[in-house]
Amino acid sequence: MTEPTQAANFLHKLISKDLAEGRVARVVTRFPPEPNGYLHIGHAKSISVNFGLAEQFGGVCNLRFDDTNPEKESQEYIESIQNDVRWLGYTWDGEVRFASSYFQQLFDWAVYLVEQGQAYVCDLSADEARAYRGTLTEPGRNSPYRDRAVAENLDLLRRMKAGEFEEGSRVLRTKIDMASPNMNMRDPIIYRIRKVSHHQTGDDWCIYPTYDFAHGQEDAIEGVTHSICTLEFEDHRPLYDWYIEHLPVPHRPYQYEFGRLNTSYTVTSKRKLKQLVDDGRVAGWDDPRLPTLAGMRRLGYTPAAIRRFCDMVGTTRSDGVVDVAMLEHAIRDDLNANAPRAMCVIEPLKLVLLNYPEDTLEQLTAAAHPTREEMGERCIPFTRELYIEREDFREQANKKFKRLVLGKRVRLRNAYVVKAEAVVKDDSGEIIEVHCQLIEATLGKDPADGVKPRGVIHWVSATRGKRAEVRLYDRLFTHAAPDKGGDNFMAYINPDSLVVKVDCVIEPGLLDALPEQNFQFERQGYFVADRYDHSAEHPVFNRTIGLRDTRAKSGNQGA
């Protein structure tokens, strides 16, 4: 058994007790996503809990698709979910499982409930059923079809299965208690007619079980010991237990709940994420601005950072909203420790060294990482003409501006000290070149005359550097809670959440970058070679995160 990566939480204590008392011989958990969208950061927490607890206690975790609603499901989602779980570094036990693999057994158990007089076919319309159901303060009323004879219910159920009835005309309901204070116990639906093809079973079925009916029985079939879900299912637990206790299942699982993970400046509703995709507000489910795991992966987040974030958040019995800055801190920490360094100029301004020979090329060396010698060194070509960042030069500036100023000195990172002598402007008055003098013998040394440079700026050779596309991503929403209180979350979309720069210049060594390889572009932030679009012929880098969080200092908590 491996040690937990965070302080023992209530689930860890609970499982330890179950093992110590012999109630459980081996821990079996499961991660049961519905294949109706891509996984998001909230699912990462559920994955880390279910797979993590299984790992910690030497048990196993199943990956099971609860595919009981084929209208909204697809093979694309199934494949993306498997990819995400693997990417996070987890391995499920055995083959991928599907609720649809148990459809016949679930139907047989539905027949069993009918035979026991505990389920009936109901002909109420949706509106009528809603009226009969009651409210949180008023009990419901029994359906007029509740007392149908067992034989009639069996006949109607089999005819439902045979496709004789239209969608919405009949459902199969469990006979529990219409006066229960728990709305989930008021004769819940367990089968409904859906005449749609299923991505796994084709046209074999035209009735499908509800999630509440299927879930616990799937756990029982698979021998799950701890069925761990988020708090919204707490009110469903009595129903989960009722089915387990009233059906001849082969095993007794137990459900436990923990607080779901919500982050600020984010929406995680699959419906809302799908709306963003369908309306073209983002480029797809893997758009780097989305909180989907596929999007975060493309943005440059690492599995280690996401798993660390989930540990930092902890596992509790209460819901809450975590500041997205904590997630951003996790990726900064990871990339600061592991990402090699490089230089990229995003808004190029030419710098000409007047006293440097035109035909000279120096191959300077710099550490790939400032504290990790094992990562080696990189070569950086140095030439007479360079590019610097346009914002790193001013003709005049006060002492707080620690970059290049006319008549002042600055150090070029990993290279020489230079002094700005003059500028060249175009007809509109825009500066197009800065002419400088290179201060001799300053490679790795301070100037002999004792006049120190104002600061350090990055650069790239104008003749040996390579053009690249850089995509500057920022938070998708400007509001900390874009969908709170029924607000139109679309109104808070950040119009500057993506800025594309196509004339950036990078160190030539970055042409060798592999898709999904992370870098710190010195003085700029952390970037990743795009998973799909990047190539040596057309380099594309996405900004993962800035070097530091400047929002708190500036008071700008939006994008």
* Contact indicator for 523, 511 with CB cutoff of 8 Å: no
Rounded Cα distance, 239 and 229, in Å:
14
* CA angle (547 as vertex; 542, 551 as ends), nearest 5: 100
pLDDT, residue 552, reads 55
Nearest Cα to Cα of residue 162 among 205, 210, 217: 205
Residue with tokens 């860890």: 12
pLDDT, residue 378, reads 97
Query: Fold match between 270-338+468-554 and 348-464?
Result: yes
* 0.85 surpassed by pTM: yes
Encoded tokens for 440:
């001799």
pLDDT, residue 549, reads 81
Q: Which residues are catalytic?
A: 34, 260, 270
Name the CATH architecture for the domain at 10-263. 3-Layer(aba) Sandwich (3.40)
* CA angle (401 as vertex; 397, 404 as ends), nearest 5: 80
Tell me how far apart the terminal alpha carbons of the chain are, to the nearest angstrom: 43
Residue 140 three-state SS: coil
**Residue-by-residue pLDDT tens, the chain, 559 positions:** 344 444 458 999 999 999 999 999 999 999 999 999 999 999 999 999 999 999 999 999 999 999 999 999 999 999 999 999 999 999 999 999 999 999 999 999 999 999 999 999 999 999 999 999 999 999 999 999 999 999 999 999 999 999 999 999 999 999 999 999 999 999 999 999 999 999 999 999 999 999 999 999 999 999 999 999 999 999 999 999 999 999 999 999 999 999 999 999 999 999 999 999 999 999 999 999 999 999 999 999 999 999 999 999 999 988 889 999 999 999 999 999 999 999 999 999 999 999 999 999 999 999 999 999 999 999 999 999 999 999 999 999 999 999 999 999 999 999 999 999 999 999 999 999 999 999 999 999 999 999 999 999 999 999 999 999 999 999 999 999 998 877 799 999 999 999 999 999 999 999 999 999 999 999 999 999 999 999 999 999 999 999 988 765 544 444 3
pLDDT, residue 558, reads 42
* Contact indicator for 49, 258 with CB cutoff of 8 Å: yes
Cβ within 8 Å of residue 121, ≥6 positions away:
145, 148, 152, 153, 156, 157, 160, 170, 171, 172, 173
| Sequence letter at residue 360 | T
What are the CA-CA distances from residue 230 to residues 171, 236, 261, 306 (Å)? Answer: 28, 11, 9, 19
Rounded Cα distance, 343 and 311, in Å:
33
Instruction: Report the half-sphere exposure of 435 (CA within 13 A, side-chain side).
Output: 7
Domain 270-338+468-554 has CATH 3.30.365.10: no
* CA angle (268 as vertex; 262, 272 as ends), nearest 5: 150
Encoded tokens for 65:
């698709």
pLDDT, residue 3, reads 41
Domain extent listing, the chain: 10-263, 270-338+468-554, 348-464
Residue/partner pairs of 508-515 with CB below 8 Å, 24 or more apart = 508/381, 508/461, 508/464, 508/465, 508/466, 509/342, 509/378, 509/379, 509/380, 510/342, 510/344, 510/466, 510/468, 510/539, 510/541, 511/466, 511/536, 511/539, 512/536, 513/539, 513/541
Encoded tokens for 527:
């970037």
pLDDT, residue 559, reads 34
pLDDT, residue 464, reads 98
pLDDT, residue 556, reads 45
pLDDT, residue 557, reads 43
Residue with tokens 């093979």: 75
Q: Classify domain 348-464 at the CATH class level.
A: mainly beta
Burial class of residue 73 (count of CB atoms within 10 Å of its CB; 0-12, 13-18, 19+): buried
Encoded tokens for 114:
């009918």
